Amino acid sequence: MPKGSDIFLQNVSKIVVFLVLAFALYLFFTGHGSPGGGFIAGLMSAGALLLLALAYDIETVRKVVPFDFKLITAIGLLIALGTGTGALLFGQPFLKHAFGHFDLPLLGDTELHTALIFDLGVYLAVVGVTMTILLTIGEDR
């Protein structure tokens, strides 16, 4: 990529990518009580990476996020399946979720729910699938 050919887009997307990723993180954690969740957070993260791919090129995205996105999809599905089968270990039906209140060092009294882990699986699967589609279409081969 030649330097200075798209200097506005490149410099602004450097900032905007972090804004979008932060908002995706917010949507991911707020999903229980207000609109949001793993699906939309995954789509927004993939959108941030797509913006990076538009401003720079696909090689840059591969360098910034050096993971195989097909593997990320598989890991996400395994996590979602793991939260489902984890309930079986406690003698509960499949996909039975549990929650509890914990005293975390900085956050204080926090309600932690196993649905968040399931949502993490959804998030990883959505990011993986979307980025695989985008990169496969984008590459000229």
Partner 1 sequence: MATIVEWISVLLALAGAVFCAISAFGLIRFPDVYMRSHAATKSAALGVLFILGGAFLYFWAVDGAVDARLLLAIVFVFLTSPVAGHLNGRSAYRSGVKMWKGSVRDDFKDVLEKAGTSAPDAAFEKEKPKLP
Out of 21, 40, 58, 77, the only residue in the binding site for partner 1 (CB under 8 A) is 58
Out of 18, 29, 57, 92, the only residue in the binding site for partner 1 (CB under 8 A) is 57
Listed in sequence order, the residues at least 6 apart from 115 whose beta carbon sits closer than 8 Å to its beta carbon are 32, 83, 97, 99
Would strands 108-113 and 99-104 be described as parallel, antiparallel, or unpaired?
antiparallel
Q: How far is the CB of 140 from partner 1 (least distance, A)?
A: 4
Single out the segment in contact with partner 1 by CB under 8 A; choices: 51-59, 90-98, 103-111, 116-124: 51-59
* Residue owning tokens 């696909």: 58
Q: How far is the CB of 110 from partner 1 (least distance, A)?
A: 20
140 touches partner 1 by CB under 8 A:
yes
Residues 82 to 121: which contact partner 1 by CB under 8 A?
none
Q: How far is residue 11's CA from residue 118's CA, in Å, rounded to a whole number? A: 36
CB 79 within 8 A of CB 115: no
In the chain, the amino acid numbered 2 is: P
Closer residue to partner 1 (CB): 57 or 94: 57
CB atoms within 10 A of CB 43: 16
Adjacent-strand bridge partners of 101: 111
Kind plus residue range of the DSSP H or E element containing 115: helix 115-138
Residues 2 to 31: which contact partner 1 by CB under 8 A?
2, 5, 8-9, 12, 15-16, 19, 23, 26
68 touches partner 1 by CB under 8 A:
no
Chain residues in the site for partner 1 (CB under 8 A): 1-2, 5, 8-9, 12, 15-16, 19, 23, 26, 57-59, 138-141
